[in-house]
Amino acid sequence: MDLSIKMLSEIPSVIRHHYQAGTINWPMGIYITLVHVIGIVGFTKIMECSKETLMWAFLLWPISGFGITVGVHRLWSHRSYSASFPVRLFLMLCNSIANQGSIYHWARDHRVHHKYSETDADPHNAMRGFFFAHMGWLYVKKHPEVIRAGKELDFSDLNEDPVVMFQKKLDPWFALYMCFVFPAQIAVKFWGESFWPAFFVAGALRYMLVLHFTWLVNSAAHLYGDHPYDVVSYPSENPYVSFFAVGEGWHNWHHKYPFDYAASEYGISSQFNPSKLFIDMLAAVGLVWGRKRGTAAWDMGRVRRDRDREAGVPLPKPAPRPWEVVKSNNSKQD
Ligand SMILES: [Zn+2]
Ligand SMILES: [Zn+2]
């Protein structure tokens, strides 16, 4: 496992390296650090909040989570289904509460992530370890390969969506308002909460936690879990991440079949996936349509795998993970 004391102890030298190389992304680094400071202040304000505000903060987890999973991920990054204007507008508002950069920029980075997973062109390349894939990538300037790859892909579909362009035009001010101020205004208006406790708990604390839930998909779900659909790839099936990321941790399936709107093989009865349930509910009332699935492709893949297995063809072997290579080199020296 790469999440070792050794890796943590290397953080100061990694910081020194980036400082000397001039590759620290100061504005984003300061912003992410501040987010954690006010998020931790939020912890101290929990007792000052009414039950309604705590319930509201809790509800904002799936609300802002759907803005990421149902919205910018499955709809705008992967086009795994089509959505009517009111749904796109609603998902854009949820996405702004999640405040993870504009839909346009998130989808651009995510398409690059899929095309170049675990390479220098992957914005949160898991080969560089848990911390980099989780949040370290936001503290440093993008690798030149990431910038090159971002220029090479086509984003005309995003340019043509007025909902996406509206949010991009107002970025980052609209998202900052929706993330921090709007939740507090709702609490003040509807149940008479004081502004600042609601700001710190339903805004700052909830935001910090949902950020980490999303980042777990890039870190934990790229490093720990099973690989039933593609044994060679890093992305894995991780039920814990799925819980926190409202159904987005079935990541081995997702990287194999990124066009699948469910982002998991099974339905919600066997794999926790409230994002799929929400899309299905919208489809039942005709607000979304054209939901694509990867199950037919996997049926063929499974037949091929079983046939190979019966014929004695060995399964492809994944390349050793970087920390496994380090470990075996160390044990050779011992
Ligand atoms: Zn991924
Ligand atoms: Zn994806």
Q: Which of 191-200, 279-288, 310-319 has the weakest average pLDDT?
A: 310-319
Evaluate whether 132 touches 124 at the Cβ level (below 8 Å): yes
250 φ, ψ (degrees, to nearest 5): -90, 70
Predicted confidence at residue 313, as pLDDT, reads: 87
Ligand 1 center–CA 155 separation, angstroms = 19
State pLDDT tens for residues 185-209: 999 999 999 999 999 999 999 999 9
> What SS3 state is found at 237?
strand
The mean pLDDT value for 134-159 works out to 96
Ligand 1 center–CA 255 separation, angstroms = 6
Question: Please, what is the average pLDDT of the chain?
Answer: 94
Ligand 1 center–CA 49 separation, angstroms = 36
Q: How many CA atoms lie within 13 A of 327 on its CB side?
A: 10
Q: Is the pLDDT of residue 333 over 70?
A: no
State pLDDT tens for residues 227-280: 999 999 999 999 999 999 999 999 999 999 999 999 999 988 899 999 999 999
Predicted confidence at residue 133, as pLDDT, reads: 95
Q: Is the pLDDT of residue 292 over 70?
A: yes
> What SS3 state is found at 315?
coil
> Which residues contact residue 277 at a Cβ distance below 8 angstroms, ignoring those fewer than 6 apart?
268
pLDDT tier for residue 321 given thresholds of 50, 70 and 90: confident
Ligand 2 center–CA 161 separation, angstroms = 19
Evaluate whether 174 touches 30 at the Cβ level (below 8 Å): no
**Exposure of 22 by Cβ count < 10 A (0-12 exposed, 13-18 middle, 19+ buried)?**
exposed
Evaluate whether 215 touches 65 at the Cβ level (below 8 Å): no
> Which residues contact residue 175 at a Cβ distance below 8 angstroms, ignoring those fewer than 6 apart?
95, 96, 99, 101, 102, 167
Helix (H) or strand (E) segment spanning residue 20? helix 11-21
Residue 140 pairs in a beta bridge with: 24
Ligand 2 center–CA 286 separation, angstroms = 24
Ligand 2 center–CA 126 separation, angstroms = 15
Ligand 1 center–CA 47 separation, angstroms = 37
* Direct distance between the N- and C-terminal alpha carbons of the chain, in angstroms, rounded to an integer: 19
Ligand nearest to the CA of 220: 1
pLDDT tier for residue 41 given thresholds of 50, 70 and 90: very high
Interatomic CA distance for residues 50 and 53, integer angstroms:
5
Domain ranges of the chain: 23-228
What does the block give as tokens for 76?
């705008």
Predicted confidence at residue 9, as pLDDT, reads: 78
C-alpha R_g of the chain: 21
The mean pLDDT value for 15-29 works out to 95
The mean pLDDT value for 117-125 works out to 96
Ligand 2 center–CA 258 separation, angstroms = 6
